[in-house]
Structure 1
Amino acid sequence: MTELDAEDNKLVVLARGALGRTGGTTGAAIRDTDGRTYAAGEVALQALRLTALQAAVAAAISSGAEGFEAAVVVGAKFSDAGVSAVREVSSAARIVFADRDGAVFDIIDDAEVHGG
């Protein structure tokens, strides 16, 4: 498994923090091309449902982000619907998937899946 750099490790911490604050099953964090980070948990309202990654993307885009460098999702698989949202904005952004303890189990880098 590829080791994460300090900036991607920071995203793991932020995603785990969002997971803990919301009490949900997933958390996500994303870094835009200006280096700003956004973290979110899943949204499960009757009127609105978003995965944690979709919520993080929405927070970033609504704050003016124009592109993404990397994202981390804790507690979800690479089939997360937020992957498409990240790819729509930045096709080459790295997306890291980790378990609730922060252990990385999948990485999507340059639109390919790595890891196991």
Structure 2
Amino acid sequence: MLELDPEDQKLVTLARSARARIQAEEGAAVRDTDGRTYAAGTVNQPSFQLTAVQAAIAAALSSGAEGIEAAVVVSGEPMLKEASVHAVRDLAEKAPIYRADPSGAVQEVLQ
């Protein structure tokens, strides 16, 4: 298993909690360039859908974040959703995106 620094491990914990809290398909957490964190679960409404990362980034942007340092997605799926990757890359070309399984074990890192 990949060893994360404490700040990135905190994102894993937040993403797992967001997923569990609402029994979502996935949970996500992001850290902005000021060190603030935002967590969210998948949004699946009749009129709109957001991946958990998109929801977390929307929360960050609506709170005034200007960039993202790192993102974590916790999901049972074997791959990151393209929309999630694009949402992070819109704000940060090189921020790491970690994909963790529901137990919190990091399975993939996109740099």
1:73 aligns with 2:60: no
Distance 2:5 2:38 in 1: 18
- TM-score of the superposition, structure 1-length normalised? 0.90
> How many percent identity over aligned positions?
57
The residue type paired with residue 59 of structure 2 is A
The residue type paired with residue 91 of structure 1 is E
Corresponding residue for residue 56 of structure 1: 56
Structure 2: where are the runs of 5+ without partners? none
Structure 1: where are the runs of 5+ without partners? 110-116
1:38 aligns with 2:38: yes
Tell me the CA shift for residue 82 of structure 1. 1.4
Q: What is the CA RMSD across the aligned residues, in angstroms?
A: 1.1
Tell me the CA shift for residue 2 of structure 1. 3.8
C-alpha offsets along residues 69-89 of structure 1, whole Å, 9 cap, x if unaligned?
A: 101000042234111011011
* Aligned equivalent of 1:90, options 82, 89, 92: 92
Distance 1:37 1:24 in 2: 19
The residue type paired with residue 104 of structure 1 is V
| Distance of aligned partners of 1:59 and 1:88 in 2 relative to their CA distance in 1, 3 Å threshold | same
Length, aligned pairs only: 109
- TM-score of the superposition, structure 2-length normalised? 0.93
The residue type paired with residue 26 of structure 2 is T
SS at match of 1:69: strand
The residue type paired with residue 107 of structure 1 is V
